[in-house]
Amino acid sequence: MDALDYAIYRNLSRDGLSRFWACRRLVDPRVTAREIADRVGLSEAGVRSRLAGLRERGLLRGTSVNVNPSLFGARVVFSEVPIRDPLEAEKLFRDLAVVDGVLFARDLMDEQDRKVRVYYVSDTPSATQRRTALLRRLSPNGLVRGPNPYWIPACDRELTPLDWRLLSVFRNSPDENLAGFASAAGISQKTTARRFGALLDSRACWWSHSSDSEEWPLALLLLTVQAEANAATLADEVARQVGSWLPVAADGFGVNPESPRRPVAGLVPVETPAALERGVRRLLAVKGVQAVQRTFGLGSSTYSQWVDEQLSTRVGPLP
């Protein structure tokens, strides 16, 4: 990835601000190639060509639609399972399919250890206890850290039967266009477009990169900042110092934006270790930054059963 590829990747979000909900980067399906072209100073054809190149390299293999667990009276928590061997991670990914309520899992390596971070719903205290106990049995060493709360904004819209039907359509065909959504739901494109925007803006659902997308060129850097530092201001300053930085400050990384200690984090290229370390040194030179933790994504897996079962109870047969 060069600087232009990275600018295009960053602008897949409407405001250019990266957000990570359940450790997955959000993208806005309403952003067009024309809008990105205007922001990065390239022709629309050039942007489309660059996006095709990112897809060919596995960085944008597809998207997934995530339905907000708050619609079903649940919140998200995460636990970490320590891993010593890559084969342990592969086995755990397979075993997690039997744990009701698991949404997503990611194999991570940071400066301290390697672990699989598992995100799952917490709909009742007893269900959370059962899921945590099952994770402990599946852990290769019997250890589990957590559960820990993971903040995602709740949906602020009361859904109609048609809204539920559209959510099901989006989830089944996330890369379809509005005409395809309208046809699958059996309604007009005008109605689809109106409800599509309302469902996204209310956080009833969101689009993210599919778990099949490659993550090796990017590292997540988490900054420890001084208590008096303003997270949003600091993220802006970091972005000026490191042009390819994707900040997480407004909402993301599982912390309520109203918290006085919001994280400052972002993605940076890691094609070469030397370039990454230069970026880290620049970050440490920014006033207010105390430390930088490097985290590398090694693999991930999505589990759809819980959400799909919840949706099926609210959606009638599609036309």
Q: How many CA atoms lie within 13 A of 277 on its CB side?
A: 3
Tell me the mean pLDDT in the region 22-37.
Answer: 87
* Beta-ladder partners of 78: 119, 148
Helix then strand then coil, in percent of the chain rounded to 5, is 40, 25, 35
What's this model's pTM, rounded to 2 decimal places?
Answer: 0.90
Q: Is the pLDDT of residue 143 over 90?
A: yes
Tell me the mean pLDDT in the region 175-182.
Answer: 92
- Paired tokens of 149: 């709360």
CA distance 244 to 6: 6
Phi then psi for residue 187, to 5 deg, are -135, 175
Tell me the mean pLDDT in the region 104-127.
Answer: 92
CA distance 246 to 61: 20
- Decide: 115 and 105 in contact? Cβ < 8 Å: no
CA distance 135 to 144: 7
Lowest mean pLDDT segment, chosen from 73-87, 95-109, 185-199, 272-286: 272-286
Q: How many CB atoms lie under 10 A from the CB of residue 111?
A: 9
Higher pLDDT, 253 or 136: 136
**Residue bearing tokens 């996330």:** 174
pLDDT tens track for 68-100 = 999 999 999 999 999 998 899 999 999 999 999
Lowest mean pLDDT segment, chosen from 85-89, 132-136, 246-250, 315-319: 315-319
- Residue 85 burial by CB count (10 A; 0-12/13-18/19+): exposed, middle or buried? exposed
Q: Is the pLDDT of residue 297 over 90?
A: no
Structural domain boundaries of the chain? 69-151, 218-297
Q: Is the peptide bond before 147 cis (omega within 30 degrees of 0)?
A: yes
- Paired tokens of 312: 């099926």
CATH number of 69-151, picked from 3.40.190.10, 3.30.70.920, 3.90.1150.10, 3.30.9.10 = 3.30.70.920
Predicted pLDDT at 136: 96
CA distance 287 to 295: 22
Lowest mean pLDDT segment, chosen from 111-125, 205-219, 223-237, 269-283: 205-219
Predicted pLDDT at 316: 63
Which residues have CB under 8 Å from 307's CB, separation 6+?
66, 67, 69, 103, 171
Q: How is domain 218-297 classified at the architecture level of CATH?
A: 2-Layer Sandwich (3.30)
Distance of CA 190 to the CA centre of its chain: 29
Residue percentage of the chain with pLDDT more than 70: 95
User: Per mean pLDDT, which of 243-247, 252-256, 305-309 is the most reliable?
Assistant: 305-309
Which residues have CB under 8 Å from 279's CB, separation 6+?
221, 242, 268
Predicted pLDDT at 318: 55
Would you place residue 21 in the very low, low, confident or very high pLDDT band (cuts 50, 70, 90)? Answer: confident
Lowest mean pLDDT segment, chosen from 38-42, 245-249, 309-313: 245-249
DSSP state of 253: T
Would you place residue 16 in the very low, low, confident or very high pLDDT band (cuts 50, 70, 90)? Answer: low
Predicted pLDDT at 159: 94
What amino acid occupies position 91?
A: K
Which residues have CB under 8 Å from 21's CB, separation 6+?
66, 152, 206, 208, 252, 254
What mean pLDDT is reported for the chain?
Answer: 87
Predicted pLDDT at 5: 85
Q: Is the pLDDT of residue 101 over 90?
A: yes
Looking at the chain, list the stretches that DSSP marks H as alpha helix, in order from N- to C-terminal side.
Answer: 3-10, 33-40, 44-56, 86-95, 125-138, 161-172, 178-185, 189-201, 231-241, 273-284, 305-312
- Same CATH fold, 218-297 and 69-151? yes
Lowest mean pLDDT segment, chosen from 51-55, 72-76, 307-311: 51-55
**Residue bearing tokens 């997308």:** 213
